[in-house]
């Protein structure tokens, strides 16, 4: 068997295995095995290009051109089969997406919740990255010594796969061990081959390593690998706890404004009235005493209770749904299934502290991509909107509600709550008056709850109910406490208790959702309707989290006087004398509204971060592909400068001749290494039909071997002739060969052999 062919096959197989380790790491990012077709296909094609370039002695530019052509020719079949004709032949749409995907595919992948769908063009990322890495790694393995340079593209691909992947990797320890094993064994083999070649070059049979020696080298390498693997596993398992995995997806948050959607509490009366008997959705696996949360609101502006504007950690801090939600949540792990029926809206019903959401149905991909979640409030939203037939499964942790005895010594959690605006002035006095003898935090909260639920009366204000206006603005809350009887439903009582608690410095918020009534507690599947919709208050206790409280009176607790509508009490009109003139009051200086000032501010630079990130990724890829061009240009430029600035003028003449011959060699002229100037001049002159090359060779021999050193003027004249001849040779060569010659490695290899 031909030994070079065997070594070539082993080199390509080792590089393919190293790249395959990185490709397999994309598994958690995609929702199917299609990424394997794109990744492994790119490995095969990329290594084939590397081998073809090495066989044909192509420079960097031809290899890059072939790589670009293959990307557009095979990208449809391997990355965008849904856009290609018969899944193989590229179309105009295929080429359009491939061209745009070199930049936009990375942004789309980072802003889409994994696992992503392969049909959305996300396969361009593993295909493009693996193709470029395969071409670079294969070319370095076949052309450059030492072979360890080939590990750099493979490591770069692995690093990019980690940064662009999901937060939960497939098997990072296995990936690292397999990569290290392949690299160590392959480099050990290459070291053995290089030693064999060196021994044969000096033609010393005694220096050729014997088979037992080579076997001992491989055994020693395997032992080192085994020891390193054992130390690595032991260190990872016992030395340090698992560290958090940082990925680009965690720092790239697509723009999302929760205030585009109205507070769900505004639609309270409509749901109660129109959907009382409608099945909005069903919940399977709901634990005992658990509640279904629709939205959590912690800010009040005198008109509506809504989410706040306080940024991170507040009720408005929604981020795309990740695979590792609520990582610090405690409670009993359970699985809850929710099937949507007549419910319509963007707010996502959920239970407990959600750790994972899996959407089902025909719109699963659309819902997953548009889902956002707030870990601080346990509230989800789907911008695509929920509709009949949608379904999803929640992995969640549900905690038991602590008893009053457990909260006896608990203090309120030290939280910073949003500032309340537009609160009726009388609420502070009412809250203080109705605390009674309450001293501990739990007693103070229970005092407020008991006052509202005991002294208040219940009414939805529908056709057959006692008059009770809808809404929870400042006027409606003032009306609740201003009438002879407190009349309202969950909407008014929950908001009233939260406002009263906040006047006392108690961290409280309003939650809207569902929970089973007593007669529905034992049902296997809970059915959410407008009739069992509720609102309640949550108070934060230190060490216990948010604890629910229900201030709404029982529905059977109806007001005594059925005629509770405000009555007009007209009095006889008496003409009153005009009031005396008064001095104009000293008004305080006008203070501009902060909100208007914020609206008038110039746009900030928040947009700059994503642009820099995506631009950096694009520039990084461009730099990765252009690096060989730049490096070779610098090497050849430095070689010319060194020759032109040699210490002896005779060496400058010799360097000028070498510059001429090297340019001819890069233009694919078959100059034999070690040939004399006359022999080289004959080959170059014949190739380009230029007799002045022979004259220049004679001139160089005379100046180099003649008596004395040539003058600087003679050197300048000689180099001028060299530049003129080189320019003429390039003009006789097609443009693609001229570009290839600038980045050809032939002259560099020729100089090394000489």
pLDDT at position 610, please? 60
Contact 350, 283 (CB under 8 A): no
Which has more pLDDT, 204 or 419?
A: 419
What stretch of H or E contains 306?
strand 305-306
Q: Residues 97, 135: one domain?
A: yes
Q: Residues 543, 617: one domain?
A: no
Instruction: Give the whole-angstrom CA distance, residue 498 versus residue 427.
Output: 11
What number is the average pLDDT over the span 588-593?
43
201 found inside a domain: no
DSSP 248: G
Q: Residues 355, 492: one domain?
A: no
pLDDT at position 115, please? 72
Domain residues for the domain of 122 are 3-170+243-248
46 found inside a domain: yes
pLDDT at position 492, please? 94
pLDDT at position 533, please? 94
451 pLDDT band (50/70/90 cuts)?
A: very high
Mean pLDDT over the full length of the chain: 80
Q: Domain end: 200, 216, 248, which one?
A: 248
Instruction: Give the whole-angstrom CA distance, residue 467 versus residue 473.
Output: 17
pLDDT at position 593, please? 43
38 found inside a domain: yes
The three-point CA angle 347-350-353 to 5° equals 125
Q: Residues 24, 158: one domain?
A: yes
Q: Given a cut of 50, is residue 538 above it in pLDDT? A: yes
Q: Residues 444, 378: one domain?
A: no
Closest CA to 342 of 276, 287, 425, 289: 276
pLDDT at position 202, please? 44
pLDDT at position 167, please? 62
CATH number of the domain encompassing residue 444: 3.10.620.30
pLDDT at position 608, please? 57
Q: Given a cut of 90, is residue 393 above it in pLDDT? A: yes
DSSP 553: P
Which residues are paired to 395 by β-bridges? 335, 356
Q: Residues 738, 667: one domain?
A: yes
Instruction: Give the whole-angstrom CA distance, residue 165 versus residue 246.
Output: 10
pLDDT at position 67, please? 92
Q: Residues 363, 453: one domain?
A: no
Question: How many domains does the chain divide into?
Answer: 4
Closest CA to 144 of 61, 60, 207: 60
Mapped onto helix, strand or coil, the DSSP state of residue 729 is helix
Torsion over CA: 239, 240, 246, 247 (sign)? positive
155 found inside a domain: yes
Contact 459, 559 (CB under 8 A): yes
665 burial class (0-12, 13-18, 19+ CB within 10 angstroms)?
buried
Q: Is 345 left (phi over 0), alpha (psi -120 to 50) or beta?
A: left
Q: Residues 392, 432: one domain?
A: no
DSSP 305: E
Q: Domain end: 360, 383, 398, which one?
A: 398
597 found inside a domain: no
Q: Residues 366, 485: one domain?
A: no
Instruction: Give the whole-angstrom CA distance, residue 336 versus residue 396.
Output: 8
181 pLDDT band (50/70/90 cuts)?
A: confident
Torsion over CA: 304, 384, 269, 537 (sign)? negative
197 found inside a domain: no
DSSP 311: -
Instruction: Give the whole-angstrom CA distance, residue 272 versus residue 458.
Output: 14
Q: Residues 357, 447: one domain?
A: no
**Integer angstrom CA distances of residue 609 from 13, 605, 619, 622, 754:** 40, 8, 15, 20, 52
Q: Residues 12, 160: one domain?
A: yes
What number is the average pLDDT over the span 265-292?
91
Instruction: Give the whole-angstrom CA distance, residue 445 versus residue 435.
Output: 8
Closest CA to 694 of 675, 709, 678: 678
Contact 113, 120 (CB under 8 A): no
For residue range 15-66, list pLDDT tens digits in order.
898 888 888 888 888 877 888 888 899 999 999 999 998 888 888 888 998 9
Mapped onto helix, strand or coil, the DSSP state of residue 550 is coil
Which has more pLDDT, 320 or 407?
A: 407
587 pLDDT band (50/70/90 cuts)?
A: very low
231 found inside a domain: no
Q: What is the DSSP string of 369-438?
A: HTEEEETTTTEEEEEEEE-TT-EEEEEEEEPPPPPTTTTTTPPBP---PPPP-S--THHHHHHHHT-TT-
Mapped onto helix, strand or coil, the DSSP state of residue 664 is helix
Instruction: Give the whole-angstrom CA distance, residue 481 versus residue 497.
Output: 12
Q: Residues 57, 144: one domain?
A: yes
Which has more pLDDT, 144 or 433?
A: 433
Question: Considering only 302-306, 334-338, 740-744, which range has the smallest mean pLDDT?
Answer: 740-744
Highest mean predicted confidence (pLDDT) among 560-569, 627-636, 643-652: 643-652
Q: What proportion of the chain, given as a percentage, has pLDDT over 70?
A: 77
pLDDT at position 2, please? 54
Q: Domain end: 248, 283, 315, which one?
A: 248
pLDDT at position 213, please? 52
For residue range 395-418, list pLDDT tens digits in order.
999 989 999 999 999 999 998 888
pLDDT at position 598, please? 44
**Integer angstrom CA distances of residue 84 from 87, 92, 132, 389, 418:** 5, 9, 22, 32, 53
112 found inside a domain: yes
């Amino acid at each position: 068997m031909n030994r070079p062919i065997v070594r070539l096959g082993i080199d390509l197989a080792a590089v393919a295995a190293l790249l395959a380790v990185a490709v397999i790491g994309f598994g958690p990012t995609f929702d199917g095995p299609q990424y394997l077709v794109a990744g492994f296909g790119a490995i095969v094609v990329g290594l084939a290009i590397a081998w073809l370039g090495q066989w044909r002695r192509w420079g960097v530019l031809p290899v890059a051109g072939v790589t670009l052509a293959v990307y557009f020719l095979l990208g449809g079949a391997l990355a965008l089969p849904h856009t290609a004709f018969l899944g193989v032949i590229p179309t105009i749409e295929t080429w359009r997406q491939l061209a745009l995907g070199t930049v936009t595919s990375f942004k789309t992948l980072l802003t889409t919740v994994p696992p992503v769908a392969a049909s959305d063009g996300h396969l361009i990322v593993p295909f493009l990255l693996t193709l470029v890495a395969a071409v670079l790694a294969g070319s370095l393995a076949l052309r450059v010594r030492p072979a360890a340079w080939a590990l750099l593209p493979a490591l770069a691909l692995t690093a990019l796969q980690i940064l662009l992947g999901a937060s939960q990797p497939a098997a990072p320890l296995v990936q690292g061990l397999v990569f290290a094993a392949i690299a160590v064994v392959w480099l050990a083999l290459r070291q053995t081959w290089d030693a064999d070649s060196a021994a044969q070059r000096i033609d010393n049979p005694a220096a050729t390593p014997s088979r037992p020696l080579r076997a001992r080298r491989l055994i020693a390498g395997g032992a080192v690998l085994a020891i390193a693997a054992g130390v690595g596993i032991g260190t990872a398992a016992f030395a340090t706890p698992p560290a958090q995995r940082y990925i680009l997806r965690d720092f790239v948050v697509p723009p999302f404004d929760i205030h585009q959607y109205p507070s769900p509490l505004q639609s309270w009366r409509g749901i109660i009235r129109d959907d009382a008997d409608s099945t909005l959705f069903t919940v399977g696996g709901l634990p005992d005493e658990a509640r279904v949360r629709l939205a959590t609101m912690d800010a009040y502006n005198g008109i509506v209770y809504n989410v706040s504007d306080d940024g991170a950690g507040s009720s408005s801090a929604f981020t795309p749904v990740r695979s590792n939600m609520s990582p610090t949540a405690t409670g009993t792990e359970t699985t809850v299934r929710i099937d949507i029926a007549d419910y319509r809206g963007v707010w996502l019903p959920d239970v407990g502290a959600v750790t994972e959401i899996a959407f089902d149905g025909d719109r699963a991909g659309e819902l997953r991509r548009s889902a956002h979640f707030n870990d601080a409030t346990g509230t989800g939203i789907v911008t695509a909107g929920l509709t009949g037939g949608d379904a999803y499964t929640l992995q969640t942790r549900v905690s038991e509600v602590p008893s009053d005895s457990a909260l006896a010594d608990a203090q309120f959690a030290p939280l910073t709550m949003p500032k309340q605006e537009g609160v009726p002035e009388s609420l502070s006095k009412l809250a203080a008056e109705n605390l009674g003898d309450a001293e501990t935090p739990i007693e103070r909260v229970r005092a407020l709850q008991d006052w509202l639920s005991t002294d208040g009366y219940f009414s939805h204000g529908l056709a057959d109910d006692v008059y009770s206006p809808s809404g929870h603005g400042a006027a409606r809350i003032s009306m609740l406490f201003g009438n002879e009887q407190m009349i309202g439903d969950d909407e008014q009582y929950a908001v009233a208790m939260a406002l009263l608690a906040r006047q006392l410095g108690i961290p409280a918020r309003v939650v809207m959702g569902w929970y089973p009534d007593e007669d529905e507690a034992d049902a296997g599947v809970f059915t959410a309707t407008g009739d069992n919709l509720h609102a309640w208050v949550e108070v934060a206790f230190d060490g216990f989290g948010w604890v629910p409280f229900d201030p709404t009176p029982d529905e059977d607790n109806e007001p005594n006087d059925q005629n509770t509508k405000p009555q007009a009490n007209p009095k006889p009109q008496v003409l009153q004398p005009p009031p005396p003139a008064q001095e104009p009051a000293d008004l305080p200086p006008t203070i501009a509204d902060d909100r208007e000032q914020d609206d008038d501010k110039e746009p900030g630079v928040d947009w700059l971060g994503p642009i820099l990130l995506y631009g950096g990724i694009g520039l990084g890829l461009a730099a990765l592909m252009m690096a060989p061009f730049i490096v070779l240009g610098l090497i050849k430029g430095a070689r010319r400068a060194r020759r032109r600035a040699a210490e002896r003028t005779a060496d400058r003449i010799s360097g000028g001749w070498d510059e001429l011959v090297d340019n001819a060699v890069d233009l694919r002229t078959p100059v034999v290494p070690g040939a004399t100037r006359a022999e080289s001049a004959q080959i170059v002159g014949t190739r380009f039909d230029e007799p002045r090359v022979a004259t220049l060779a004679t001139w160089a021999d005379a100046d180099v071997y003649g008596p004395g050193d040539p003058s600087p003027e003679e050197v300048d004249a000689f180099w001028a002739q060299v530049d003129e001849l080189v320019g003429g040779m390039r003009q006789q060569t097609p443009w693609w060969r001229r570009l290839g010659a600038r980045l050809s490695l032939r002259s560099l290899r020729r100089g090394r052999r000489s």
